[in-house]
């Protein structure tokens, strides 16, 4: 069998971190082990029933059996605009300021190809979501890393950054509530970001995947709520986390019209938009009863309490997250992130993601998803306690 060589573009792609994690988990399960998988960001709860019913009903619409409009149905774009006005008091033009996408992952990879040329620079959070790097690699562009440190609440410190690095950057990726650190951003930080981006002519891409998940009564801040944000960037929102629609693959970008046009243009050549039945169900989720979202956040908050309190009982000093459904936990004394994650996997059959998989500044941490029941989260900590690890 002849082997055809991969293109240079494919060779530039970074290793798919989560794919390797999945293989390790599958191997243990094949051996018959009961694995508690807290290592991935895959919501474990079902899509709200009223959204599912909307899809069932829309599947009977013969008009939806045809190709969808290339740039998405008008009714979904109007629902997105209504959602942003209701939730964040941000005005969105459905025609020029919305791009419908096949999941946020797709959009976050596409946008680098839309706006970066070979040799251009993008600012990336470290630690950060690995697929930001994938889009930059496909564009044959370069990166400058922005360290996210615990002492700075996992926010980049623009004051410590080199002016020349800011001047040469064309894109900046941000993500709050943050994956993997669970850090949050306030309006003052986003206001400062707008000032920095305007001064240095940087386009900001804010990944708002966990925008609905804030704790202790605090609602996560939208980047677009800051004055002037639409002038210099876009926000990417997914239905996956807010409405447990991860498998439906529907997301959208809102904000700066030129960036939206670039995303629509590349998608004109790649797709014929989403099945219109899914678009109708997504519109129903955005504009319908939001009690399901409140219930979801309450569920994650209960899980957070169960897990964090259990960790404290065994002497593991883990900070309670303020947003997202992740916990960013320090590793035990004497371990690297990968060594600690492997120990939990092999000896306790508890899956966590090693922090170094998210960047250099992720070393010393593991990411834990609150994506199982309170009972199973407590069991995970109980299994870890039996390893007699030194958490001091």
Dist. CA 98–CA 261, nearest whole Å: 9
Domain finish residue from 245, 262, 287: 287
pLDDT at 51 over 90: yes
Instruction: Name the nearest CA neighbour of 153 among 173, 178, 190.
Output: 178
Other CB atoms closer than 10 Å to residue 268's CB: what's the count? 12
Q: Which long-range CB contacts under 8 A does 156-163 form with residues at least 24 apart?
A: 156/123, 156/125, 158/192, 158/193, 158/196
Q: Does the global pTM surpass 0.85?
A: yes
Closest by CA to 41, choosing from 233, 177, 230, is 177
- Provide the percentage of residues in the chain whose pLDDT is more than 90: 90
* Predicted confidence band of residue 16 (pLDDT cuts 50, 70, 90): confident
Report the share of the chain in percent with pLDDT over 70. Answer: 99
Same domain, 267 and 181: yes
Per-residue confidence band for 21, with pLDDT thresholds at 50, 70 and 90: confident
pLDDT mean over 106-114: 96
Instruction: Lowest mean pLDDT of 17-21, 31-35, 73-77, name the range.
Output: 17-21
User: What pLDDT score was predicted for residue 32?
Assistant: 87
323 secondary structure, DSSP code: B
* Domain-terminating residue out of 261, 287, 313: 287
Tokens standing for 371?
A: 């994506």
- Beta-carbon contacts of 257 under 8 Å, excluding residues fewer than 6 positions away, are 93, 96, 97
Identify whether residues 273 and 331 lie together within a single domain: no
Confidence at residue 230, expressed as pLDDT on a 0 to 100 scale: 97
Give 267-290 pLDDT, tens digit per residue. 999 999 999 999 999 999 999 999
Sign of CA dihedral 177, 180, 183, 186: negative
Question: What pLDDT does residue 392 have?
Answer: 67
Q: Which residues partner with 351 through β-bridges?
A: 37
Cis-peptide into 134, omega within 30 deg: no
Omega within 30 of 0 (cis) for the link into 127:
yes
Pick the last residue of a domain from 250, 266, 287: 287
Question: Are 260 and 238 members of one domain?
Answer: yes
Whether 167 and 283 share a structural domain: yes
Specify the pLDDT at position 211. Answer: 96
One domain for residues 186 and 297: no
Residue 298 lies in a domain: yes
Task: Report the chain's mean pLDDT, rounded to a whole number.
Answer: 95
Q: Maximum Cα–Cα distance for the chain, whole Å?
A: 63
Contact 323, 155 (CB under 8 A): no
Other C-beta atoms within 10 Å of 164: how many? 9
Same domain, 299 and 253: no
Nearest to 88 by CA among 197, 1, 206: 206
Q: Which domain CATH number covers 350? A: 3.90.1150.10
Residue 3: inside a domain, yes or no? no
Q: What is the pLDDT of residues 154-181, one digit of tens each?
A: 999 999 999 999 999 999 999 999 999 9
Residues 157 and 243 in one domain: yes
* Residue 2 falls inside a structural domain: no
pLDDT at 22: 82
Q: Give the domain range for residue 356.
A: 10-47+291-385
* Count of domains for the chain: 2
Token pair recorded at residue 47: 């899509």
Which pLDDT tens digit goes with each residue over 317-364? Answer: 999 999 999 999 999 989 999 999 999 999 999 999 999 999 999 999
Q: Is there a single domain that holds both residue 91 and residue 236?
A: yes
């Amino acid at each position: 069998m002849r082997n055809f060589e991969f293109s240079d573009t494919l060779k530039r792609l970074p290793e798919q971190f989560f794919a390797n994690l999945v293989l390790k988990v599958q191997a243990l399960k094949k051996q018959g082990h009961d694995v508690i998988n807290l290592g991935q960001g895959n919501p474990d709860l079902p899509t709200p029933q009223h959204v599912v019913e909307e899809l069932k009903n829309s599947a009977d619409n013969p008009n939806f059996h045809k190709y969808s409009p290339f740039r998405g149905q008008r009714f979904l774009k109007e629902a997105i605009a209504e959602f942003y006005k209701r939730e964040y008091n941000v005005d969105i033009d459905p025609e020029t300021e919305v791009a419908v996408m096949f999941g946020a992952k797709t959009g976050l990879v596409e946008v680098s190809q839309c706006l970066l040329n070979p040799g251009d620079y993008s600012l990336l959070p470290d630690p950060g979501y690995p697929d930001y790097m994938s889009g930059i690699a496909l564009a044959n562009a370069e990166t400058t890393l922005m360290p996210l440190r615990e002492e700075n609440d996992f926010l980049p410190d623009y004051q410590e950054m080199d002016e020349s690095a800011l001047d040469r950057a064309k894109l900046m990726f941000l993500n709050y509530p943050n994956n993997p650190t669970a850090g949050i951003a306030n309006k003052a930080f986003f206001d400062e970001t707008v000032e920095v981006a305007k001064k240095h002519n940087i386009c900001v891409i804010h990944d708002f995947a966990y925008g609905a998940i804030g704790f202790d009564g605090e609602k996560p801040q939208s980047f677009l709520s800051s004055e002037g944000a639409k002038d210099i960037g876009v926000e990417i929102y997914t239905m996956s986390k807010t409405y447990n629609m991860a498998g439906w693959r529907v997301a959208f970008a809102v904000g700066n019209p030129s960036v939206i046009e670039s995303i629509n243009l590349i998608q004109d050549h790649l797709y014929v938009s989403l099945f219109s039945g899914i678009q109708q169900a997504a519109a129903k989720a955005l504009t319908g009863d939001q009690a399901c979202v409140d219930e979801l956040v309450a569920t994650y908050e209960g899980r957070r309490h169960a897990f964090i309190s259990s960790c404290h009982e065994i002497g593991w000093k883990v900070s309670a997250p303020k947003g997202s459904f992740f916990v960013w936990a320090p590793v035990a004394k004497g371990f690297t992130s990968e060594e600690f994650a492997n120990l939990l996997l092999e000896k306790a059959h508890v899956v966590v993601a090693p922090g170094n998989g998210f960047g250099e500044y992720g070393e010393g941490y593991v990411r834990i998803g609150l994506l199982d029941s309170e009972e199973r989260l407590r069991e995970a900590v109980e299994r870890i306690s039996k390893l007699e690890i030194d958490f001091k």
